[in-house]
Amino acid sequence: MNENAMKILAETDLYGVLLTYDEAGEKVYHLELENTTVHFFAEEWDEFLELMKQVLG
């Protein structure tokens, strides 16, 4: 994927998850929560998803 490309993985009216790549080609996930954005590298994203699985039980 082009380093400058942004892929929308999911979105609602207030929230979104986007995927980009940094200069080294590493995936960067962007969790947009209205006016706040949290950035995760791939391993951090995987850990965040595991946390959310625990929350959802």
Confidence of residue 5 (pLDDT cuts 50, 70, 90): confident
Task: Bin 43: left if φ > 0, else alpha if -120 < ψ < 50, else beta.
Answer: alpha
Whole-structure pTM value? 0.87
Per-residue pLDDT of 10-49, as tens digits, reads 999 999 999 999 999 999 999 999 999 999 999 999 999 9
For residues 31 and 2, the model is more confident at: 31
pLDDT of residue 2: 59
Whether residue 1 has pLDDT greater than 60:
no
Q: Domain ranges in the chain? A: 7-56
CB–CB of 49/43 below 8 Å?
Answer: no
Widest CA span in the chain? 36
